Amino acid sequence: MEISLNLFTNIPNNFFSILSGNLKEVHTDLLYLVYEHYKKTIYVIEKDVVIDLFVEYLEINDDTDKYTENEEFIKDLRERAHHYLLKFCQHGWLYQEQYLDYRYRISIPDYSIRLLDTFEKISSGYQMEFSGTVLAIYQNLSGEAGSSYYAIQQAYENTVSLINGLKELNHNIKNYIEKLMEQDNAKEVLEQLFNEYNEKVLGRHYYRLKSSDNVSKYRTKTIDRVRNLRHQLHNIEAQAQIMVKEQFANTVTEAENMLFDWLEAIENAFENIYAIMREIDERNRKYHRAAITQINFHLNKSGNFTSMVNNILCFLANASKEGDSSFKNQIEDELEQFIELYTQQYIDGKSIKTINKRKQVIQQTPMKNRTVSEDVKNKKIKEYKQQLQNEITVQKVNKYVNTILTDRSSLNLSDFPFNNKEDYINMIFTVLHSTNNKATYLVKLKDEKIKHLDVEKGTIPNMEVEKREE
């Protein structure tokens, strides 16, 4: 099957070329300035206004070092601003037109507006507003005009936006899990968890989709309404004729296929929406488990033997990779028989680049049985029990939260005790374990406008802890 977008029949062939090269950041910044100003106007911008915007940008952001030998550098800022504007017009990003008063005005083509809007959302970490979307889809299909083609089209577009938003959210959580493993200390982990992750990834919108605007309220009703519309063949035919009359489709058959495709897409989306929401929940739990692991690692960095060995090996590996041979003098003679680091400049025997050879038979010699004294056994058992006792599990956190809440159904996180380091650790794990299925409580933002509160010994998230409904 042949598929062709015919993209360059609608946009110039050299449209994307300004997004490459050393000046790509300057180009995108200047285009964004025009786009920001364009949103505040009705239709067009005076050319002199655009030139002034470019000159002001160039005065603050020097682009001299970004020019190459093949690019002509213009010293005068205003002349350079005219050069950039001409370049954008030649590449199709902007359109310059002379009006009856002989003054030039700048407009942005439709395709350019859509791309600049996408660039803005990517740069700002835009998150779709899930709240009310499911209700809007149901209302489009069940209102007085719910059987009209434009109501079905609006419901279809909202459904596509909803599913795409959930897919983006699912992918973003995966990226943040990878980003979490790169944090160097517990403070950075907590800052990403409390600020960046909750605000930019999950946020308040997705939680509403699981609580007050729960998709289950309208899912069954929406599916039933869609199936009912699909069986109203007389209405489908009538709406198809209207679509042809209003030049939305060329033929009645084409219009009918469009209507059936829209309805089928809505039905499939709502039948399978729980699958992607379950995957998002699972990724969210993985993120919190990774956060717990990272925090445990950083908090116990100084006293945990595994962490100490890991730090030593990381240091030695990095030093060897950078070609620093001085570190070898720091290794005790007793350790040289266990640790041997060197730069390998040839393919080893296990590489797929070499031909497999018959493995050499190794003569095995039995080891002598070792006997461990009772004192050593008891000491190890005692250490293991102490380690289990120090581990902060979800059951311990549940008990801690129940002790704090007592008879209350909810309590602000700022009202928790913060007398010592242990209280702060309990607070941290209260938030981390809140997504666990075994947790007997929930944690949510108290106020969307006030995200942090100052307590006597620091700053904490403005969150509320409440008991789960049994």
Q: What is residue 343's predicted lDDT score, i.e. its pLDDT?
A: 56
Most trustworthy range by pLDDT among 30-39, 330-339, 419-428? 30-39
Give per-residue pLDDT as tens, 131-179.
678 888 888 888 777 788 888 988 998 898 888 888 887 887 877 777 7
Looking at the chain, the whole-number percentage of residues with pLDDT higher than 90 is 6
- Measured at the CA of 151, the angle between CA 131 and CA 262, to 5 degrees, comes to 90
Kind and range of the H or E run holding 96: strand 95-98
How do residues 41-58 score in pLDDT, each as one tens digit? 877 888 999 999 998 988
7-36: average pLDDT: 85
* Largest Cα–Cα separation, the chain: 102
Whether residue 309 has pLDDT greater than 70: no
Give 219-252 pLDDT, tens digit per residue: 888 899 889 888 888 988 998 999 999 888 889 9
| Bigger pLDDT: 302 vs 298 | 298
- Quick: pLDDT tens for 247-261: 888 899 999 999 999
Q: Cβ of 164: how many Cβ atoms within 10 Å?
A: 11
Nearby residues of 354 by Cβ (< 8 Å), 6 or more positions away: 347
- Spatial strand order of the sheet with 441-445 comes to 410-412, 463-467, 441-445
Split at pLDDT 50, 70, 90, the class of 1 is very low
pLDDT at 470: 59
Top pLDDT among 354 and 394 is at 394
The reported pLDDT for the residue numbered 167 is 83
Confidence of residue 327 (pLDDT cuts 50, 70, 90): low
| Helix (H/G/I), strand (E/B), else coil: 203 | helix
As a whole number of angstroms, the distance between CA 37 and CA 46 comes to 11
pLDDT band at 408 (very low <50, low <70, confident <90, very high): confident
337-384 pLDDT per residue, tens:
555 555 555 555 555 455 555 667 777 788 777 787 888 888 888 887
For 178-226, write each residue's pLDDT tens digit.
777 777 777 777 777 776 777 666 665 567 667 666 788 888 888 998 8
User: What is the length of the chain?
Assistant: 470
Which of these, 196, 168, 198, 195, lies nearest to 280 by C-alpha position? 168
Average of per-residue pLDDT values in the chain: 78
DSSP three-state, residue 388: helix
How far apart (Å, rounded) are the C-alpha atoms in residues 25 and 50?
18
